[in-house]
Amino acid sequence: MKLVVIGLGQCGGRIADEFARLNRKAVSQRGIEIVIGAFAVNTDIADLSGLRRIKPDYEHRILIGGRKTGGHGVGKINELGAEVAKEDANKIIDAMRLTKRLTDADAFLLTAGAAGGTGSGAIAIVTRFIKERFIDKPVYNLIILPFEHEEQAEERTIYNTATCLKSSYLVADATLIVDNQRYESHQNSSMRSNLANINAMIAEPFYNLLCAGEEKKYGYIGAKVLDAGDIIQTLAGWTILGHNRINLSWLRFLWGQKRDFRSKASETEKGIQAMNAAVSKLSVPANPADSRRALYLVSAPPREINIDLLKELGSHLKNLAPDAIIRSGDYPREKNSLGVSLILSELSDIAKIRNYFTRTISLISSIKMRQERMDQRPVEGNLKDIPSLL
């Protein structure tokens, strides 16, 4: 599957930068292109300057809202981010049209942090503009939820997140959700290093999913190829992802090259463990039983992928998500590991998202009450009796 990736705001731009890295990795290691074009859109010049892999020209690093922000961002006001996106959306569209082989892209992926200003406000607006101009291609949103400490520090974080999620859900073909809090951080590492590691972990589950259908070498083409059509038919509504990889080297050391019943049972067991670990590492905590569509990809050495493994994994996922339409595939590309990439889509409920909406409704009510009290509060002295120098 080939994507056009557009990162909006600081967080979105860095995630798009990671997709540009994955594309370079796919080209150099596998001779496959999975990202037709990677773009960063922002109201802040400094954020655009901090990217590493996206091309540095103004056609790939796009500054919007310069007249209103002076290139210094929107100050976490996502209404202003939406406003400047409406005004400058054509600038983004025109830059994308210059991309070579744009028609080869299977879909657009727009990504942003839900709690910020530019990305949170702009992602739904730009999604709508792209859908109007490229009506034959799906447009997906990858939205990153804030850390808990960000939610506790500022009410605006909750408000921005809820309005971003609702707006995205109304326009995107699917809204993929990732919770920053799900990823471990190392206390002794710098903030830059931690965020870079988290961004890499957010993008990593996409790697084999995108490569599997673009593989060109005969020996690495799966017996059951998972292609762009399978992914497009799976993605709808609220969507979450999981990914896990298990090292197989110790199994080979334990059982050698023998294909006896013990090694075969161990391989199947490791496949189930990998899927369970992928479920435990879902990008947002959710119940798989609430999904209506699901997809899994097994990536392992060709010798390790067999019918029994795929059958067991399919049965296991069906038990976890009994109402879901399940699609699957294999990708015999790995050398010493067995990986499972998982997508759960068209989820009927995600508690964390529901919580954002509930808290925001309460927040709006409390803000109105505080404003009314402020309007009624007497100021020291009576202002109307004091002369003005204006």
Pairwise pLDDT comparison (373 vs 22), residue with the higher score: 22
Higher pLDDT, 242 or 378: 242
Q: What confidence tens digit (pLDDT) does each residue in 9-64 have?
A: 999 999 999 999 999 999 999 999 999 999 999 999 999 999 999 999 999 999 99
pLDDT-derived band at 384 (thresholds 50, 70, 90) equals low
Model pTM score: 0.90
For the cut 70, the answer to whether the pLDDT of residue 390 exceeds it is no
**pLDDT at residue 251 greater than cutoff 80:** no
Minimum mean pLDDT range among 71-75, 228-232, 258-262, 285-289: 258-262
Per the listing, tokens 């300057």 go with 49
**Residue 253 pLDDT class (50, 70, 90 cuts):** very low
Segment 221-248 shows an average pLDDT of 93
Give 72's pLDDT tier (boundaries 50, 70, 90). Answer: confident
All structural domains of the chain, each given as residue ranges with its CATH number in brackets, are 3-204 (3.40.50.1440), 238-345 (3.30.1330.20)
Model pLDDT, residue 187: 60
pLDDT of residue 269: 83
Mean pLDDT across 185-197: 76
pLDDT: which is higher, 322 or 263: 322
Among the residue ranges 34-48, 60-74, 109-123, 179-193, the one predicted with the least confidence is 179-193
> Which segment of 6-15, 27-36, 170-179, 215-224 scores lowest on mean pLDDT?
215-224
pLDDT score at 367: 72
Question: Span 199-211, mean pLDDT?
Answer: 94
3-state SS record for the chain: CCEEEEEEHHHHHHHHHHHHHHHHHHHHHHCCCCEEEEEEEECEHHHHHCCCCCCCCCCCEEECCHHHHCCECCCCCHHHHHHHHHHHHHHHHHHHHCCCCHHHCCEEEEEEECCCCHHHHHHHHHHHHHHHHCCCCCEEEEEEECCHHHHHHCHHHHHHHHHHHHHHHHHCCEEEEEEHHHCCCCCCCCHHHHHHHHHHHHHCCHHHHHHHCCCCCHHHCCCCCCCHHHHHHHCCEEEEEEEEEEECHHHHHHHCCCCCHHHHHHHHHHHHHHHHHHHHCCCCCCCHHHCCEEEEEEECCHHHCCHHHHHHHHHHHHHHCCCCEEEEEEECCCCCEEEEEEEEECCCCCHHHHHHHHHHHHHHHHHHHHHHHHHHCCCCCCHHHCCCCC
The per-residue pLDDT for 363 is 87
Per-residue pLDDT averaged across 149-164, rounded?
A: 91
Is the model more confident about 32 or about 249? Answer: 32
> Which comes out higher in pLDDT, residue 387 or 250?
387
* Band (221; pLDDT cuts 50, 70, 90): very high
User: Could you tell me what percent of the chain has a pLDDT over 90?
Assistant: 68
Pair type for strands 293-299 and 337-345: antiparallel
Specify the long-range contacts of residues 179-182, CB closer than 8 Å, at least 24 apart: 179/144, 179/145, 179/283, 179/284, 179/285, 179/352, 180/144, 180/145, 180/146, 180/147, 181/145, 181/147, 181/148, 182/281, 182/282, 182/283, 182/284, 182/285
**Average pLDDT for 240-244:** 95
Q: What are the pLDDT digits (tens) for 285-295? A: 999 999 999 99
Which pLDDT belongs to residue 68?
A: 83
Report, as an integer, the average pLDDT of 361-368. 81
Range name among 63-72, 99-108, 322-331 with the lowest pLDDT average: 63-72
| Long-range contacts of the stretch 247-256 (C-beta < 8 A, 24+) | 247/336, 247/337, 248/300, 248/301, 248/304, 248/336, 248/337, 248/338, 249/336
